[in-house]
């Protein structure tokens, strides 16, 4: 039951946040089925990871979705932040696949 609740929490918190931001940055229309599919993909990539990695992804996702005025004058390029976020999510998966 605990792993199911963990995956559900990741899907609702991180998956949907990342899906919405990634789809809007790539210029795709954010329809509900496409958002659910991309959220499920992000959830599958983040399931079973450490709490520290999920905290980093959550903070980067929140910084990505925050308006520019809310960041306190920090000049953060949103596209570079998205690339770093995708790198943090995808690179451990690629590393695990290469070692097989």
Would you state the pLDDT for residue 14? Answer: 75
pTM: 0.74
In percent, the amount of the chain with pLDDT more than 90 equals 0
Question: Two tokens at 57?
Answer: 């992804």
Q: What is the pLDDT of residues 70-84, one digit of tens each?
A: 766 666 777 888 888
CB atoms closer than 10 angstroms to residue 35: 18
Domain map of the chain by residue range? Answer: 2-98
Q: What is the pLDDT of residues 18-39, one digit of tens each?
A: 788 788 877 877 788 888 888 8
Mean pLDDT, to the nearest integer, of 41-46?
80
Would you state the pLDDT for residue 1? Answer: 66
Specify whether the CB–CB gap between 42 and 14 falls below 8 A.
yes
In angstroms and rounded to an integer, the radius of gyration of the C-alpha atoms of the chain is: 14
Under DSSP, is residue 74 helix (H, G, I), strand (E, B) or coil?
coil
């Amino acid at each position: 039951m605990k792993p199911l609740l963990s995956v559900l929490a990741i899907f609702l918190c991180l998956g949907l946040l990342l899906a919405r931001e990634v789809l809007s940055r790539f210029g795709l229309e954010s329809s509900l089925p496409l958002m659910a599919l991309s959220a499920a993909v992000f959830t599958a990539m983040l399931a079973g990871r450490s709490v520290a990695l999920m905290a980093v992804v959550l903070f980067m996702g929140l910084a990505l979705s925050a308006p520019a005025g809310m960041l306190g004058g920090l000049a953060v390029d949103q596209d570079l932040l998205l690339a770093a976020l995708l790198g943090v999510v995808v690179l451990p998966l690629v590393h695990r696949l290469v070692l097989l």
